[in-house]
């Protein structure tokens, strides 16, 4: 009998992609996809179970199916459907608590993979240049999805102590982007004009949605020789991009806003339904965040196919040209440079003729 894999958050794009991908693993004989809402995308041959992980019914699903691998992807910054921030927090925190309680009582469970975020490190002016998995956090997130993730990781560590026989992997993802990304940061980059914080140009890291699916697969299956897929791992593409560079590559103009007014701008954007410009995201777009990924490569044994720059390029290509496409801007600059050169040549020619006449 092969592995029986249960995946939460299957109604989201990322969950659906992972469900379809894990079915292609020869050792996996059964995949159970769980979510509170039926997915709009195809789940292949997976069995869909409509269940709320905040309810005890998830324990019955684990027991009846003899699940041995749980991949918990229902930890997100945005609620599913029309629910608000309260629903998202309950699903993230209460749902995780209920799921871990069910896993603790299920003797068949031998592996747990949990989706987390590098937002647990926060974003503050005195942060280190690069965060490792063990870097002490100077300023813990005070709210939003980042605070949820901190609480979730705390419950996961407690579960790991109570069930030392279970291999537990926590994957802290940098900002996830790609053609199908549906994250708050993707919504921000979709704005026709990008509000930025005056005087700040933060460093950002991204991870491609394709790499997210592949690293989840590495963490959910038996480790390759010389690797270990238990522990906490930062996951991000190589390199960094400045916020100003992302705006130029998107062809989006920026509007610098004084820091005290940024919260007001964010409230306007949320009210208009354009993007969830949360306090957590404002801090990221002010101070940035960069993480070290040595553990991901050396211990987990995973190397992303996309760098940070390549991830953003793929995302930008899927969005089409902005108000100021780089090609058009380059053309204007080249034309202006050529015009300046022509004027300079004409002036030099006139000066030479005047000198000859004198």
CB 52 within 8 Å of CB 36: yes
Comparing CA positions, the residue from 297, 285, 304, 73 lying closest to residue 185 is: 285
Total residues belonging to the chain: 358
CA-to-CA distance for 23 and 45, rounded, in angstroms? Answer: 8
What is the tens place of the pLDDT at every residue in 221-265? 999 999 999 999 999 999 999 999 999 999 999 999 887 777 777
Task: Please state the rounded mean pLDDT for residues 311-316.
Answer: 96
CA-to-CA distance for 189 and 246, rounded, in angstroms? Answer: 9
Whole-model pTM: value is 0.87
Among the listed ranges 93-97, 182-186, 250-254, 332-336, which one has the minimum average pLDDT value? 332-336
Confidence of residue 2 (pLDDT cuts 50, 70, 90): low
pLDDT score recorded for residue 165: 96
Q: Is the pLDDT of residue 161 over 60?
A: yes
Confidence of residue 344 (pLDDT cuts 50, 70, 90): low
CA-to-CA distance for 353 and 80, rounded, in angstroms? Answer: 75
Among the listed ranges 55-64, 74-83, 153-162, 279-288, which one has the minimum average pLDDT value? 74-83
Give the pairing of strands 241-242 and 254-257. Answer: unpaired
pLDDT score recorded for residue 330: 44
CB 73 within 8 Å of CB 18: yes
Q: What are phi and psi of 198, to 5 degrees?
A: -55, 125
How far are the Cα atoms of 86, 102, 190, 259, 290 from residue 274, in angstroms, in the given order? Answer: 19, 38, 9, 20, 27
Mean pLDDT of the chain: 89
Which single residue is written with the structure tokens 């553990």? 295
* Cβ neighbours around 282 below 10 Å, total: 19
Classify 73 in phi/psi space as left (phi over 0), alpha (psi -120 to 50) or beta: alpha
């Amino acid at each position: 009998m092969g592995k029986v894999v249960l995946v939460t958050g299957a109604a989201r794009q990322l969950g659906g992609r992972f469900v379809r991908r894990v079915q292609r693993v020869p050792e996996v004989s059964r995949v159970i996809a769980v979510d509170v809402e039926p997915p709009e995308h195809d789940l292949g041959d997976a069995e869909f179970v409509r269940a709320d992980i905040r309810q005890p019914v998830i324990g019955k699903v684990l027991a009846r199916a003899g699940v041995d691998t749980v991949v918990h992807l229902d930890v997100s910054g945005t609620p599913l459907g029309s629910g608000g921030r309260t629903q998202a927090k309950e699903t993230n925190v209460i749902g995780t608590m209920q799921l871990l309680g069910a896993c603790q009582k299920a003797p068949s469970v031998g592996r747990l993979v949990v989706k987390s975020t590098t937002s647990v490190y926060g974003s503050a002016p005195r942060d280190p240049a690069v965060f490792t998995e063990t870097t002490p956090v100077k300023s813990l997130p005070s709210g939003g999805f980042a605070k949820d993730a901190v609480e979730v990781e705390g419950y996961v560590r407690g579960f790991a102590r109570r069930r030392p026989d279970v291999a537990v992997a926590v994957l802290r993802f940098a900002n996830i982007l790609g053609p199908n990304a549906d994250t708050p940061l993707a919504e921000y980059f979709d704005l026709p004009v990008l509000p930025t914080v005056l005087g700040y140009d933060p460093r950002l890291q991204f991870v491609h949605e394709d790499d997210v699916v592949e690293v989840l697969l590495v963490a959910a299956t038996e480790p390759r020789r010389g690797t270990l897929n238990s522990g906490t791992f930062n996951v991000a593409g190589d390199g960094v991009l400045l916020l100003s560079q992302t705006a130029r590559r998107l062809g989006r103009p920026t509007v610098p806003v004084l820091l005290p007014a940024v919260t007001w701008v964010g409230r306007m954007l949320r009210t208009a339904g354009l993007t969830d410009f949360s306090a957590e995201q404002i801090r990221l777009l002010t101070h940035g965040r960069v993480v070290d990924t040595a553990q991901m490569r050396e211990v987990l044994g995973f190397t992303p196919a996309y760098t940070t720059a390549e991830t953003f390029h793929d995302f930008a290509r899927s969005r089409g040209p902005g108000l100021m496409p780089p090609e058009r801007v380059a053309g204007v600059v080249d034309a202006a440079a050529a015009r300046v050169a022509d004027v300079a040549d004409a002036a030099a020619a006139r000066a030479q003729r005047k000198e000859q006449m004198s």
